[in-house]
């Protein structure tokens, strides 16, 4: 077994309960759960939020320095491109490194299963015993599940590493999601200028509306109050924009 890997807590399975008359009391309602793994949500949400906040702050800082509108547009587009590529590269490297680490640990587990099958079998049985299964039944379950080497590897990976070998994250998907979401978020503050605006306020209002919408959507996905999530994101993004505007105004006056 690879060292330094902490075993995850067991998942809880849905079970029917026996009534006093010995019959099974079935769950009266069918229900589903949200996707809590965050595989798509994390890079998409962080990308859009980062794009909105960082480019809004960048544009307000430049506009605070009393620069021409076309300079603000060029700055915003440059911030969009730089941030999107940076997010994509960082996300790709992060997910690829995580995937490579998992694959390396799977190779270690595969070798252990091949070289010491009895030890791995006993380890799996002990794990089930620790979860409340009777020793004889745990040993039989472990033996049957370990009959197929690939199934045994999958079970050990789930129990010891907390991963599914067949469902590892894709670096390309994570990078593409981050790139696209950041670009969409970063485009909002620039869009009014591209459509002919010559002042900062249309860009600020559109970006703040986007921040509120993103915060509200995320709150709904996570079963939180939508208006609180929207207001929280609006306040945070607005504060960042306000600070950079003041700094731009201060530095612009000093340089001028």
For residue 94, being part of any structural domain is answered with yes
pTM over 0.95: no
Output the DSSP codes for the chain.
--TTPPPPPPPPPP--EE-TTS-EE--SS-------S-TTHHHHHHHHHHHHHHHHHHHHHHHHTT--HHHHHHHHHHHHHHHHHHHHHHHHHHHHHHHHHHHHHHHHHHHHHHH-HHHHHHHHHHHHHHTT--HHHHHHHHHHHTSSHHHHHHHHIIIII---TTSPPPHHHHHHHHHHHHHHHHHHHHHHHHTT--SSHHHHHHHHHHHHHHHHHHHHHTTS-HHHHHHHHHHHHHHHHHHHHHHHHHHHHHH-
For residue 21, being part of any structural domain is answered with no
For residue 4, being part of any structural domain is answered with no
For residue 36, being part of any structural domain is answered with no
Report the Cα 204 to chain-centroid distance in Å.
27
For residue 30, being part of any structural domain is answered with no
Taking only the tens place, the pLDDT of each residue in 124-164 is 899 889 888 899 999 998 899 888 888 888 888 888 788 88
Taking only the tens place, the pLDDT of each residue in 177-226 is 889 999 999 999 999 999 999 999 999 999 999 999 988 888 877 778 99
Q: What pLDDT is recorded for position 253?
A: 73
Answer yes or no: is pLDDT of 15 > 70.
Answer: no
Taking only the tens place, the pLDDT of each residue in 21-50 is 444 455 555 555 555 444 466 567 778 889
* Tally of domains in the chain: 1
For residue 79, being part of any structural domain is answered with yes
For residue 178, being part of any structural domain is answered with yes
Between residues 174 and 240, which one has the greater pLDDT? Answer: 240
For residue 142, being part of any structural domain is answered with yes
Note down the domain range covering 52. 41-255
């Amino acid at each position: 077994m690879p060292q330094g890997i902490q075993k995850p807590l067991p998942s809880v399975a849905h079970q029917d309960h026996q009534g006093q008359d010995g019959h099974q009391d079935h769950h009266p309602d069918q229900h589903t759960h949200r996707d809590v793994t965050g595989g798509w949500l994390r890079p998409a949400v962080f990308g859009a939020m980062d794009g909105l906040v960082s480019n809004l702050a960048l544009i307000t800082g430049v506009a605070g320095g009393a620069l021409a509108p076309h300079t603000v547009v060029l700055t915003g587009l440059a911030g969009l491109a730089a941030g999107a590529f940076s997010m994509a590269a960082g996300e790709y490297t992060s997910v690829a490194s995580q995937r490579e680490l998992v694959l390396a640990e799977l190779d270690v587990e595969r070798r252990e299963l091949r070289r010491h099958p009895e030890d791995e079998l006993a380890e799996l049985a002990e794990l089930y015993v620790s979860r409340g299964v009777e020793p004889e039944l745990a040993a039989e379950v472990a033996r049957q599940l370990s009959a197929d080497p690939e199934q045994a590897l999958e079970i050990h990976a789930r129990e010891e590493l907390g991963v599914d070998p067949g469902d590892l994250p894709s670096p390309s998907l994570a990078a593409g999601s981050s790139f696209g979401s950041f670009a969409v978020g970063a485009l909002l503050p620039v869009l009014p200028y591209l459509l002919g605006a010559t002042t900062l306020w249309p860009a600020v209002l559109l970006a703040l509306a986007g921040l509120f919408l993103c915060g509200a959507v995320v709150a709904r996905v996570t079963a939180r109050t939508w208006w609180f999530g929207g207001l929280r994101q609006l306040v945070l993004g607005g504060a960042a924009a306000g600070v950079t505007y003041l700094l731009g105004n201060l530095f612009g006056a000093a340089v001028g």
